[in-house]
Structure 1
């Protein structure tokens, strides 16, 4: 195995709290460890921010907002374009950091860096396209103007599973709109966030813009940081990606100050395969939808709902495809499946699989942790799974594909919608009319037809029901950071 982070890259990874353009230790002086999930070895000690660090960061963001909100759209656009160029130029370096702290294979990490960069490029272009309105009122008594202005300082909470994509998807539209930000990275993966924040900070400084436009508070306690920020009336926006349970708690806190909120929460994605589908294409799509980041994604296919006529064929071919996957350290050549993020994740996946088997499911491949250092679970296919098994009704967040058979289209849709979540759904069919019916009848914010990946920086990303509120990406993403002001004259 090669070193997860080359020394030349490690030397440029900030480990402190970023406040008003300065990296410094936490106010308390405390730190917390960041470990490689493939080896459990500690990579860095990172500043453990507390209430005072959070307040300092919001102070800086509030001061910076007074100036940054007035910067010309072209200036904000050029800032983000420069950040895009730097991200692309340092793709390999950043990918090493993503793999080291998160575990995913380097090929996936490189793809994530480029995906993140596309958000930055897209919002660099949107910064100069924030349209308002000017018209004569229908009654003819006055003129109507609608102005767009930034909502204010934003608190952005990012998850561990896509550390660079999520900071890009939140910070880029915020800066494009003229907002300033306080970022709380996930405790498990703060290194990537810090590295990217330094790129942004350096560009702000080089252009004479307020460096307090971007602030970062790593912490081992999200509540410690979130509490003082959400209770402060100067904060005007909250964006969170994470579990529905935590999202509910944050929404309750945000209600007191009536904050603008964006919530990308849990998922339980159905993957439907109809009898007329191209089964080989469906299997390829299934591997893509299930196994990215070892199944640790909110858009991972969680429930494989397959027409009973082709259930055995699909299950057998999916099992053969899983047999070709290579488990190991993400920095090693040829590895396609990395570790889970922590031991608790391994135990949770094992519990779900065990319960499914006790309920009559058959293990077609895998079904156990991998006997090696780190937090590994074998890619697993389960056949004959009951629709009410916990491995079907709960988000797995691991490399397990449970297959449930259905009879007709109506039953398939009913099974797909039998969940409080509705982030994304996938469906494979050659019938165009059926594809359109599914797009209209499945309760999900995103639907992939004959494809196993839907995420795109230029399209709105988000869910319905308990999968969240608001959208990120596309034109809709920047709207979350803008107010409309009506002027009558």
Structure 2
């Protein structure tokens, strides 16, 4: 593994990243001082940034509220043009954003470039949706009046974004809000705030008016968020993160009857039937498991494989996984970077150790790596027994765990045996069976013979304890719109 300190080109980029709070169009100091952002591959401090107090958070909401009326009245074409300029600027600066994400989050540079492309698509998609917000007009069935159904912006929004996709999770929330005519306050994750700060500057460069987007970074997330959520001027809360935190936020939002969007935990099943094309299944498994070093809510968590093909599937995967290069993501040949911190390494190791103690077999990996940074070896374990923690809890690391089944009903039962329901993956060459799985699996999304489902044009979200609401697609902008009905007399 290579864990070289920050190079000159990296420092040059870091020097361009704002380090303050963005409130009302101005970069400002935080009342709580500053805090460090570290490279998880080396432990080195990349930058020190402003630490917001609860009072800073309310000032950011003040700015969003002050800008709301004018932004809502801004013509849709102008909102669209600003989002499109932001998309174009992101394409021009894609290498800067990719490198910055690799530095603060650890993902390999190739994957960071992929996130820039994915995150940018939300800007382009919602720039197009901004001018397509519509309603309807018609006569009542009784003929006694005429109905006008219109859409209007929800109002000021508060966004809490996660550390694992620092650009895409920001654009996926901010772009539809801006397209709909809403102003926002964004609180990026403490571990990876730099990308959001640079993106906020890009929005300013694209011509976004002051106060429409405000960014507050903090080490006191709960203390900062609680008064913002309790403020009666706030009308929308969107959060991506763990289910326990989401449950607390929903409870807080209930006091003000806020609109909420929650993209919470996942425990994705990856089901391989006996008739599956194993070449496709193995390729899909590599994408579904090891994208973003396994640190994705959409990552396959439980590999449920027909007993007749489980050994061949595991052997092929072991060959691929054992050959993966591990190191600092800035190196071109690296496929697996560090986990976000030492706690993530400890959790991955704990889940693997529990599975092995219950009889699972280690095919490769299953250990933390020595040296600087928070690295865990890419791992394959099979023969995972029922009751193992790794089948119940989200792994969030490069660990692929295989259990087996004997028939379709058992596969469905095992796949649905979780309180989560974000995404599932199914590999079968039987079209009828594939359609049955669409109906039977309790998830908001499904990949049929594919290992990646995310697309800006598609609705992203889950069922059960994986959340409420949808981001992306035609559905995404409606999360930020209220429906208003007006009745006019006939004649």
Q: Over residues 17-65 of structure 1, what are the superposed CA-to-partner deviations in whole Å (9 max), with x where a residue is unaligned?
A: 100000011023x111100000011100111101111010000000000
Say yes or no: does 1:240 pair with 2:243: no
How far, CA to CA, are the matches of 1:428 and 1:340 in structure 2? Answer: 28
SS in structure 1 at match of 2:132: coil
CA positional deviation for 1:280: 1.5
1:133 aligns with 2:136: yes
Say which SS state the counterpart of residue 484 (structure 1) adopts. strand
Correspondence 1:10 to 2:14: yes
Give the whole-Å Cα distance in 2 for the aligned partners of 1:460 and 1:308: 34
Residue in 2 that maps onto 1:93: 96
For structure 2, which runs of at least 5 residues remain unmatched after alignment?
none
What SS does the aligned partner of 2:158 have? strand
Distance 1:152 1:27 in 2: 27
Matches within 5 A, 1:152-191: 152-191=155-194
Post-superposition offset of 1:2: 7.9
1:110-157 Cα deviation digits (max 9, x unpaired): 000110000000000000000111111111001000111000000011
Counterpart for residue 218 of structure 2: 219
Q: 1:297-356 CA distances to partner (integer Å, 9 max, x unpaired)?
A: 000000000000001000111111101211000001200000000000100111111111
Which residue in the other structure is 1:434 paired with?
Answer: 433
> Gaps spanning 5+ residues in structure 1: where?
none
Q: Secondary structure at the match of 1:128?
A: helix
Kept in 1, the 8 Å contact 2:89–2:206? The answer is no
Secondary structure at the aligned position of 1:6 is classed as helix
CA distance in 2, matches of 1:93, 1:303: 35
In structure 2, what is the Cα distance between the partners aligned to 1:57 and 1:98?
A: 25
Q: Tell me the equivalent position of 1:20.
A: 24
Alignment of 1:317-336 (within 5 A): 317-336=316-335
**Where do 1:156-305 residues align within 5 Å?**
156-204=159-207, 210-305=209-304
Q: Give, in whole Å, the separation in 2 of the partners of 1:316 and 1:221.
A: 46
The yes-or-no answer on 1:484 pairing with 2:467 is: no
Question: Within 1, Cα distance between the matches of 2:16 and 2:117?
Answer: 20
Aligned counterparts of 2:6 and 2:315: Cα–Cα separation in 1: 37
Which stretch has the larger CA shift, 219-228 or 334-343? 219-228
Per the alignment, in what secondary structure is the counterpart of residue 69 of structure 1?
helix
Equivalenced residue count is 484
User: Alignment partner of 1:350: what SS?
Assistant: helix
**In the alignment, is the contact (CA less than 8 A) between 1:2 and 1:332 conserved in 2?**
no
How many Å separate the matches in 2 of 1:452 and 1:362?
A: 24
Q: Tell me the distance in 1 between the aligned counterparts of 2:485 and 2:29.
A: 44
Match of 1:147 among 140, 147, 150: 150
- Distance in 1 (alpha carbons) for counterparts of 2:354 and 2:387: 11
> SS of 2:330's equivalent?
coil
Q: Distance in 1 between matches of 2:242 and 2:310?
A: 31
Alignment partners' CA distance in 1, 2:210 and 2:206: 9
Cα distance in 2, alignment partners of residues 265 and 77 from structure 1 = 29
Identify the residue that residue 312 of structure 2 maps to in structure 1.
313
Contact kept in structure 1, 2:37 and 2:191, CA below 8 Å = yes
1:419 is aligned to: 418
Alignment of 1:25-174 (within 5 A): 25-28=29-32, 30-174=33-177
Cα distance in 2 for residues equivalent to 1:477 and 1:333: 35
| Greater Cα shift, 253-262 or 218-227 | 218-227
Residue matched to 2:388? 389
Q: Per the alignment, in what secondary structure is the counterpart of residue 211 of structure 1?
A: coil
Q: Distance in 2 between matches of 1:202 and 1:60?
A: 19
Measure how far apart 1:8 and its partner are.
3.1
Distance 1:27 1:204 in 2: 28
